[in-house]
Chains A and B, each alone.
Chain A
Amino acid sequence: MKPFTKILFVASFVALSTFTACAGDTTQMKKPSGQLLPDVDNAGLKLPAGFGALVVTDKLPAARHIVVNANGDIYVKLEKLKDGSGIYRLRDTNGDGKADEMKGFGNYIGTGIAIKNGYLYASSNQEIFRYKLNDKNEVANTSAPEKIVTGLWDHHQHSSKSITLDNNGNIYVNIGAPSNACQVKDRTKGSPGQDPCPILDSAGGIWQFKADQMNQSYAQGVRYCTGIRNIVGLDWNNETNDLYAMQHGRDDLHRLFDSMYTDEQSSVLPAEEMFRVKKGSNFGWPYCYYDQFQNKKLLNPEYGGDSKKQDRCANVDQPIYAFPGHLAPNGLLFYTGSMFPEKYKNGAFIAFHGSWNRAPKPQAGFFVVFVPFKNGMPDSNWEVFADGFAGTEENRSSGNAKHRPCGLAQGPDGSLYVTDDAGGTVYRIVFKKS
């Protein structure tokens, strides 16, 4: 943020605070238009001191990933069509941060969305499309995208495709394994793990394609890394020039193996892992999982594991960070803006969708966390950055969250955007004090 804008911003915030203090009922107040100010209740979010939040819109069902163009236009990918459209462009015409114009296009549902080198990229659960941006930085033709990738596995479970691009003309897409642990019969007690797991040929990893070639499928792509159950949050880190990704770890250790895992252990195991991905990385799924208490990859019980044995898992690639189990990391973003304080620079924001597999223990997550980074590696412990999405404590513990964080994006001014695929809200988080 430029110094002048910052002064204006702070000044207007102070002015509003004074005004609201006199007015009494803050909920009835209309904010002056044209000023970027947090909502009076910070959109219901709990944030660190100095941060504020506003609702950009609350009318986008199943809002998944999000990207903000250099001109401030926001693009959101939906997992449910709204009036026949699966992508929405939100535009704030008066500078107050609220979406004044909403324009839908793209008649397919999906998760992934990204902007790179003059194109908007978006994914369905099987394909990736791109739309050329014109000289006004707008999608030139919303009804005629180019199909660059097609025919990816969509077997319902873990079918969403997330995308990110490097600086070398490549696009990366996760292909989630339609399985929990590659058992002969998925999630069925007593069914053994398949060895080798045939899923890994076509899913359970991240694939690399060319960002500018048409109709690519498995034959034209590269399996960039393997041994991953499912990814939703992934991001290219321009500081290190590496791909980072967040795994959704396996479910049901207790239900399937109650003699080895208590429901207490099963509620936090295995870890949700953060990977720094290199070409050819193998993170071990379905044979291995990461135990964040023993700090190592262990053999899954479907493959003869006993909650202690490592065996073949001693040699697979390790996570660079481990979170408690089942929190469901759906968004990953490396922050490069200058609006937030220095400690956030190049660190990772992660949107946790929230758990369901912790039952009968209380569910958890439904928040956005921050991990400080130094030289491309986590530098200290994670902290909750934005909380309160679930609503009440009862909503959180039962899993009936009002809002579930999913996608993350950074605006040109350094604002952080968060989508919610349960309540349909897009949040904008700003820093309001220097």
Chain B
Amino acid sequence: MFKFFAITAGVLILAGGSYCASAQTKPAAKPKTSSSIPAATMQRGKVVYESECLSCHQANGQGVQRMNPPLVKTKYVLGDKKTIITVVVQGLDKPVEINGETYENVMPAHPNLTDQQIADVLTYVRNSFGNKASAISAADVKSVKAKIK
């Protein structure tokens, strides 16, 4: 596990490094992936992750056996933006099954977070722990919230 994490981290660092190098010549050529997420967004997302998410989903995003689901390469996290925004906004009080394992703890709603904070933390999670997916904006969160209410 540690090895995998270290390698993944190394790849991310490498990817980040090569992006910086190539960014000076042809910035528009890069698809919107982890390497195109502004460092400031990732940093803001990390702060929210550490205060709101880490105690259950753990520092490595792997979650806890049978209780708190992993955030690494799951369809909930990487799939449709609406799904993951809804989970953070509304919480989830039914078990979820991921790769044959059922996770039973409740996910609280987060009325204390702003649209921007939710966008930042979800962008961070979708581009950490080996994940790679598009960024989520405050406008995305706002539009999902409008449909929920």
- Residue numbers of A with Cβ under 8 A of B are 62, 79, 156-157, 159, 185-190, 251-252, 254-255, 258, 356-357, 359-360, 392, 394-395, 398-400, 404, 422
Contact A360 B50 (CB under 8 A): yes
Contact A186 B93 (CB under 8 A): yes
Q: B residues within 8 A CB of A156?
A: 94-95, 104-106
Known: A255-B52, A360-B59. 12 other contacts (CB 8 A): A156-B104, A156-B106, A189-B108, A189-B110, A189-B111, A190-B112, A251-B55, A357-B55, A398-B2, A398-B59, A398-B60, A404-B65
A254 to chain B, nearest CB (A): 7
Q: Which of B68, B93, B106, B109 contacts A356 (CB 8 A)?
A: B68
Contact digits for B74-104, partner A, Cβ 8 Å, 1 yes 0 no: 0000000000000000010111000000001
Question: Does any Cβ of A come within 8 Å of B62's Cβ?
Answer: yes
Contact A157 B51 (CB under 8 A): no
Residue of A nearest to B104 (CB): A156
Q: Which of A62, A157, A395, A399 contacts B106 (CB 8 A)?
A: A157
Contact B64 A399 (CB under 8 A): yes
Contact B58 A188 (CB under 8 A): no
A390 to chain B, nearest CB (A): 12
Contact A359 B110 (CB under 8 A): no
Given contact pairs A356-B67, A398-B58, A399-B64, A159 touches B104 in the complex (Cβ within 8 A): yes
Contact B1 A400 (CB under 8 A): yes
Residue of A nearest to B2 (CB): A394
Given contact pairs A251-B55, A359-B58, A360-B50, A188 touches B64 in the complex (Cβ within 8 A): no
A328 to chain B, nearest CB (A): 10
Given contact pairs A185-B91, A189-B112, A190-B111, A359 touches B55 in the complex (Cβ within 8 A): yes
Contact A398 B104 (CB under 8 A): no
B91 to chain A, nearest CB (A): 7
Contact A185 B109 (CB under 8 A): yes
Residue of B nearest to A355 (CB): B64
Given contact pairs A159-B104, A186-B106, A398 touches B1 in the complex (Cβ within 8 A): yes
Residue of A nearest to B63 (CB): A356
Question: Does any Cβ of A come within 8 Å of B54's Cβ?
Answer: yes
Q: B residues within 8 A CB of A185?
A: 91, 108-109
What total count of A-B pairs have CB within 8 Å? 71
Distance between Cα atoms of A79 and B67 in the complex (Å): 13
Between A and B, 8 residue pairs with Cβ closer than 8 Å are A157-B106, A186-B108, A188-B108, A356-B64, A392-B2, A398-B60, A400-B60, A400-B62
- Residue numbers of B with Cβ under 8 A of A are 1-2, 50-52, 54-56, 58-60, 62, 64-68, 91, 93-95, 104-106, 108-112
Q: Which of A189, A357, A392, A394 has the most CB of B within 10 A?
A: A189
Distance between Cα atoms of A356 and B54 in the complex (Å): 10
Residue of B nearest to A180 (CB): B106
Distance between Cα atoms of A157 and B62 in the complex (Å): 19
Residue of B nearest to A254 (CB): B55
A63 to chain B, nearest CB (A): 13
Q: A residues within 8 A CB of B52?
A: 255
Contact B55 A255 (CB under 8 A): yes
Q: A residues within 8 A CB of B110?
A: 188-189
Contact B95 A188 (CB under 8 A): no
Residue of A nearest to B112 (CB): A189
Q: B residues within 8 A CB of A359?
A: 54-55, 58-59
Residue of B nearest to A62 (CB): B66
Q: B residues within 8 A CB of A159?
A: 104
Q: B residues within 8 A CB of A394?
A: 1-2
Distance between Cα atoms of A392 and B3 in the complex (Å): 13
Q: B residues within 8 A CB of A79?
A: 66
B2 to chain A, nearest CB (A): 5
Contact B54 A360 (CB under 8 A): yes
Contact A395 B108 (CB under 8 A): no
Q: Which of A394, A395, A400, A422 has the most CB of B within 10 A?
A: A400
Distance between Cα atoms of A422 and B67 in the complex (Å): 13
Q: B residues within 8 A CB of A252?
A: 55
A410 to chain B, nearest CB (A): 27
Distance between Cα atoms of A210 and B20 in the complex (Å): 71
A270 to chain B, nearest CB (A): 15
Residue of B nearest to A255 (CB): B55
Distance between Cα atoms of A157 and B55 in the complex (Å): 17
Contact A157 B104 (CB under 8 A): yes
Distance between Cα atoms of A328 and B93 in the complex (Å): 22
Distance between Cα atoms of A230 and B94 in the complex (Å): 19
